[in-house]
Amino acid sequence: MIHNIDLKSENLHGSFSNEYKPILTIQSGDSIRMQTPDIEWGYSASKGIDREFFKSAVNEETPLHPMIGPIEVKGAKPGMVLEVKLNDVVPGWYGTNWAGGKKTWQNDAVGLAGTEKIRLDWELYRDTMTARTEVVSRPVNVALNPFIGLMGVAPAEHGVHHTSPPRYCGGNIDCKELKRGSTLYLPISVEGALFSIGDGHAAQGDGEVSGTAIECPMDLVDITLTLRDDMQLAMPRAKTPAGWITFGFNEDLNQAAAQALDEMVELISVFYKIERSQALALASVTVDLRVTQVVNGVKGVHAVLPDGSIAL
């Protein structure tokens, strides 16, 4: 079945909690189509139309990233895995990013706080897959790579949790590989899963070094949610056009890298039925470690195993 979620305040929230009421209940294997607002909780359908601004349906003290959800999946239980297939991701016509000044939703200054704060407003062109802005009155163009920055299920821990740091249950991963054609696997820790999604990005480099990507609304996000009881995961994992990806999250970048590598060694060991020491040796000659982001308090590293890089 295909469900459509309207973009309205009643369907938005800006924090994680396993006590939030679901806005929609679906069956495993159902698809969902929706629009998502920009990082400032606004949306404009086309150039020349003023942005409409939304609020969180939850009475949060400090709502951060606007998310659609939570979405309940019938039959989801702790210990299962939620498969999130990204069928389509279509950005809106505009986006924004910032650098310098005082951080707003990021926790790390990346050595740039106190510098002059700038805001770049971008116009997005889907026909050429480019984005354009002006720097010192000169046009600048970059390539589009639209993806979803934030996808997660509710954490097992009680209370209200900020969206900024990524967690074992997903959230603000900010990995540019999570685009159309990718599948994210999330370990479920609460009944019903309570999945939420948002934070559209039009383009971002690994690291997200200013604290923001080109933050944009999405005109269409089309996903399919499927329960998997044949997988056991402690951390998110993804199958993307770049290959298999494992993640590590920690305030210490070295620890984040170690976690991403450990998850990848486990993946290779299980996939190819070899010892972990052998998997580590193969990882050393095939796997790329990349810094996902360094700006969300909890830093992210993702390990990439390119398709076809190991043949046994």
SS (H, E, C) the chain: CEEEECCCHHHEECCECCCCCCCEEECCCCEEEEEECCCCCEECCCCCCCCEECCCCCCCCCCCCCEEEEEEECCCCCCCEEEEEEEEEEECCEEEEEECCCCCCCCCCCCCCCCCCEEEEEEEECCCCEEEEEECCEEEEEECCCEEEEEEECCCCCCCECCCCCECCEEECCCCCCECCCEEEEECCCCCCCEEEEEEECCCCCECCCCCCCECCEEEEEEEEEEECCCCCCCCEEEECCEEEEEEEECCHHHHHHHHHHHHHHHHHHHHCCCHHHHHHHHHHHCEEEEEECCCCCEEEEEEECCCCCCC
pLDDT in tens, 114-148: 567 889 999 999 999 999 999 988 999 999 999 99
CATH 3.10.28.20 maps onto the chain at 242-305
CATH 2.60.120.580 maps onto the chain at 2-92+145-228
Query: Which CATH architecture describes the domain 2-92+145-228?
Result: Sandwich (2.60)
How many of the other CB atoms lie within 10 Å of CB of 179?
18
pLDDT in tens, 74-118: 999 999 999 999 999 999 999 999 998 655 444 444 445 556 788
> Residue 115 has what pLDDT?
60
Model confidence, pTM: 0.94
> Residue 62 has what pLDDT?
84
Q: What are phi and psi of 262, to 5 degrees?
A: -60, -40
Residue with tokens 């606004």: 42
Superfamily of structural domain 242-305: Acetamidase/Formamidase-like domains (3.10.28.20)
pLDDT band at 20 (very low <50, low <70, confident <90, very high): very high
Alpha-carbon span 34 to 219, nearest angstrom: 8
Sequence-ordered list of residues with C-beta below 8 angstroms from that of 285, at least 6 positions apart, any chain: none
> Residue 61 has what pLDDT?
83
- Across the range 57-72, mean pLDDT stands at 93
pLDDT in tens, 167-214: 999 999 999 999 999 999 999 999 999 999 999 999 999 999 999 999
pLDDT in tens, 240-296: 999 999 999 999 999 999 999 999 999 999 999 999 999 999 999 999 999 999 999
Residue with tokens 């070899």: 274
Task: State yes or no: pLDDT of 164 exceeds 60.
Answer: yes
* Cα within 13 Å of Cα(75), Cβ side: 12
> Residue 59 has what pLDDT?
85
